[in-house]
Amino acid sequence: MAHIVRPDRALALVLAVLLALAAPCWAQAQESGGYDAANPQNLTDDDLTAKAALVMDAATGTVLYAKNADRRTYPASTTKIVTCLVALENFPDLQQLVTVGAEAGQISSDSSVLGIRKGEQYPMLDLLYGMMLRSGNDAAMTIAVAVSGSVEAFAELMNQKAKELGCKDTHFVNPHGLHDESHYTTAYDMALIAQAAMKNRTFREIVAAKSYTMSATSQREKWRVETSNPMFVATSRFYYPDLVGIKTGYTSRAGRCFVGAADKDGVELISVVLKSKNTQDANGRDNGEYWVDTARLLDYGMTRYDTYTYTEMFNQAPIYAVIQNAARDDENGGMLKLQIVPGTALDTCVIKCLPEQAQEMLSQFGQSVSINYTRELTAPVEAGDILGTVTIDANGQPVTATVVASRSVAAEAVPFSLESLLPHVAQALNSRWVLLGGGLLVLILLLVIILRLRAAVRRRRRRKEMLRRRRAAYDRYRKM
């Protein structure tokens, strides 16, 4: 007797089997958090723990990705970016000694400090390094007073600078970023500040440093400060090899913050992460969400760029040579495109740009190319013939490669060359007309000779007669 399965039970059985098969896939998706590291171009807001985030092209200011970029947020110690920039622009002698005053102690006892002591003297440059590498709030206060005479006056300079850079929703009240309800910014505004700061050479050197040796003072010997940024440390799980700065920040109200900069293949990006999480894993290790957010933003930003080798760029922005003496029927009037010999150093030099920047980049690329011709540009030319060399400025270094003709150019035929006349001469020599012409030519020559001889005889006769008459006249004169 056949066993009959009720339809509702059959459906339940099928669903149970499907759920069992799908469970491992769901578990894997939940474990990965939905972010696909192999495809960073698929970044979404849910992949970032930060409440506000942004990545920007440092050269153009183009925003590549933004999450709540205009939301007002507390910046914490990323404030020190503008503090450092304002100090660099308003304190001309960075080797000038600055005396640490009482202001260095006017901060929360549990805040991050460099550890400088009242009465010590440091070059301004040392204080800037200490502030940026160790996030020293005491150094920030000392810098502010040294530049402006008071924290309030320095904050005015900070706000003036922010307004000058186009910040629309930013206000500073102190140089260090400790919490204050009136001290705020946005991810976009902070990116503008970082973009401007990274154009300052000294600022770039400071924020790229892994360590710095502080000068000796009357109270201590030289001492060394180290960066607290794990994205700079090769042994860290958060290490990011293309990072070139900039500054961390944290308060309980601001959350974890980081403004970063990365440079790869000539592309520099500015990233901003504000109010990110601060959690630990089962082993008590920092999950580093703000480092992870930063890496994801920078990875995403780099995927937005198209990559070209210099050889590809040369081929897309072609340079032409005009070959002289080209055949009249040459389809391009003797003009041919130059090609770079494959396998040169230019195949490994790359340049990146956003798709919308490609045309402008191509036009600028042509301006950095110089051609040195090593042969005369005269036909005939065969495809592949070496015409000279091309030199291109590749990230500040000149790179040279050989250029060849992309096609053949035939020479114009000479209409009355000896080679073209020889067949006609040979034919004429076999003709009877050459004999008649030759005889006529001989007769003409003989006639000319006879006429010239007769004329010469007449001239001699006239000359003799004239001499005879002169002699006769002379004789008559003597007889008188």
Helix 137-148 to helix 124-134 angle, to the nearest 10 degrees? 140
Three-state SS for 393? strand
Structural tokens at position 192: 């503008």
80 is catalytic: yes
The Cα–Cα gap between 288 and 237 comes to: 10
Task: For residue 257, give the nearest of 229, 285, 298, 225 by alpha carbon.
Answer: 229
Q: Which of 32, 51, 67, 77 is catalytic?
A: 77
Cα(295)–Cα(53) distance, integer angstroms: 12
Q: Which of 32, 51, 67, 80 is catalytic?
A: 80
CA distances from 122 to 101, 127, 130, 164, 181 (A): 12, 7, 11, 30, 32
Residue 5 in 3-state DSSP?
coil
Please report the DSSP string for 307-346 in residue order.
EEEHHHHHHHS--EEEPBTB-TT-TTTTEEEEEEPTTSGG
- Cα separation of 350 and 312, whole Å? 9
Measured CA to CA, the distance from residue 252 to residue 188 in angstroms comes to 22
Query: How many CB atoms lie under 10 A from the CB of residue 410?
Result: 17
148 counts as catalytic: no
Q: Are residues 91 and 151 in contact, defined by beta-carbon separation less than 8 angstroms? A: no
Among residues 67, 112, 135, 276, the one annotated as catalytic is: 135
The SS3 of residue 228 is: coil
d(CA 270, CA 262): 7
Distance CA 46, CA 10 (A): 38
Instruction: Label residues 249-287 b or e (16+ Cβ within 10 Å = b).
Output: bbbeebbbbbbbbbbbeebbbbbbbbbbeeeeeeeeeee
Q: Quick one: DSSP state of residue 135?
A: -
Helix (H) or strand (E) holding 15: helix 7-32
Which residue in the block uniquely carries the two structure tokens 């990116």?
A: 191
Q: What is the DSSP letter of 201?
A: H
**CA–CA dist 361, 80 (Å, integer):** 35
Catalytic annotation on 135?
A: yes
Please report, as a single letter, which amino acid is at residue 245: G
Task: Provide the residue count of the chain.
Answer: 480
Q: How far apart are CA 214 and CA 132, in angstroms?
A: 13
Show which residues are catalytic: 77, 80, 135
